[in-house]
Chain A
Amino acid sequence: MSLLAELQAFFAVYALKWPEWSGPMGRAVIVTLQITALAYALGLVVGLVVALGRLSRNPFLRRAAAVYVEVARGVPALVVLFLIYYGLVPLGVVLDAVPAAVIGLGLSAGGYVAEIVRAGIGATHRGQREAGASIGLTPLGVYRFILIPQAARIALPPLVGVLIAVLKDSSLASLISAPDIMLRAKDISSSDFLPLHILLVAGALYFVLALPLSAAASALERRMSRGLKSRP
């Protein structure tokens, strides 16, 4: 058989199988998106709290927040998932796969979010805060009108980056049997003996989900690198 014919045969399988696959894969995409969205939301909340801890005046809070960031940076998300899903069972904590994945991925992402937020707030010059204080803004006002608006612009592109990372890491949820894209692909590949076909579908699905985010991140990045000055 010529290469062309082989390729034709390869893709012909999709025409045959897609009607059967589209249902379960569609539902799996929903699960992947659910895990991603919830874990990201949790990561934002955790990250914000930890960042405030790192910026606080209380040395104990600062230390605890720093340790959190170090640990989140150093331990694989998959290990966190296993720890939460399998590791806590002997202690009587039994979670379903999806909540376990959301918690594990959210805690993991929180460390990154915290660093991004902290860097964003730290990037504004101390003189900017002082100028705010000098016109009589309260500390809360300085945060609200001066630090956060500037930090948001700096933090936005990397925060989109974290969203992409969470989307990709959500694939790990399949390893604790959450019914996401990867788990369904694995199931189908062992029942239909077409591993390459279905795994390529899985890859394509992640790619299609991540691509717009990735484009948005680089567009934001470009806007940022032009600096605040060139805002219209």
Chain B
Amino acid sequence: MTDPLLKIEGLRKSFGALEVLHGVDLALDQSRKVAIIGPSGSGKTTILRCVNYLEVPTGGHVWLDGELIGEKRVGDRFVHLSERELAPQRREMGFVFQNFYLWPHLTVLENVALGPWRVQGMARREAMDLAETMLDKVHMGHKRDEYPERLSGGQQQRVGMARALAQQPKVILFDEPTSALDPELVGEVLSVIQELAAEGRTMILVTHEIRFARDVADVVVFMDGGRIVEQGPPAAVIDDPRHERTRRFLGQLGRG
């Protein structure tokens, strides 16, 4: 048995006195897709942010491809890495934000090329070519020279995905990529995610789109109150949940 690509162990996070993650364990193998669902405030975003170390966990560890993320061992203690030391580790993970966070002073193409050019150290020309390929993947090639604020939400989010893809990441973390979008724009974003899933990319997807989670994910994780309540194949968790809380949550959503 090989190690999982991404392993989360005993992850805890407190904001001041409030603990919002009470020890989360999760593992996923290469090419697997995990969907995390759960009520608002249950800690879904916080997990992703801790994995990418945008938030420093208060306890637990994260490994990506065998490498300890955000920490190093000094003797028998774990020491947090500086932001500088974190940079190369974050480069291995793509993050797609709920609110896109494209950079308004750069064109669509520059947004996508910035990572390859300035982080991965490609030549400018090469970075632009890569960016263009990624934009084509998300069907945004025709808007390469626009500035982000001229795009619809769905278009911005697809550029956000191209930006993450351009990192050539080992895993992509999606934080509710469609929940800031008008209903009629959700479809175009989901269909791109579906295409990426079909390419065999490893991803964690936090979403409220239950039906989509069932179609795309290998594993569905239901969270409530900072804990994983149950996880398993979609057929089990979504269609035949064992826990009362899961049933109630899905019931409120009309079962997706």
Contact = CB atoms under 8 A, between A and B. Distances in A.
Q: Do chains A and B touch in the complex (CB under 8 A)?
A: yes
A141 B101 contact: no
Residue of B94, B95, B103, B115 most packed against chain A (CB within 10 A):
B103
Contact of B91 (A135, A146, A149): A135
B149 interface: yes
A133 B118 contact: no
Nearest to A126: B101
Contacts of A130: 54, 95, 97, 101
Given A131-B97, A149-B105, A137 B118 contact: yes
B84 A138 contact: yes
B143 to A, nearest CB: 14
A134 interface: yes
Nearest to A125: B101
Interface of A: 125, 127-128, 130-141, 145-146, 149-150, 153, 227-229, 231
B207 interface: no
Contacts of B97: 127, 130-131, 134
Given A130-B54, A227-B149, A229-B150, A135 B101 contact: no
A228 B87 contact: no
Interface string B94-125: 11010101111100000000110011100000
A133 B103 contact: no
A128 B103 contact: yes
Contacts of A138: 83-84, 87
A125 B114 CA distance: 18
Contact of A150 (B86, B104, B120): B104
A229 B87 contact: no
Contact of A131 (B84, B93, B103, B118): B103
A139 B86 CA distance: 10
Contacts of B92: 136
A61 B152 CA distance: 42
Contacts of A135: 90-91, 94, 114-115, 119, 163-164, 166-167
Contact of A136 (B54, B88, B99): B88
B101 A146 contact: no
Contacts of B84: 138-140
B52 interface: yes
Contacts of B87: 133, 136-138, 141
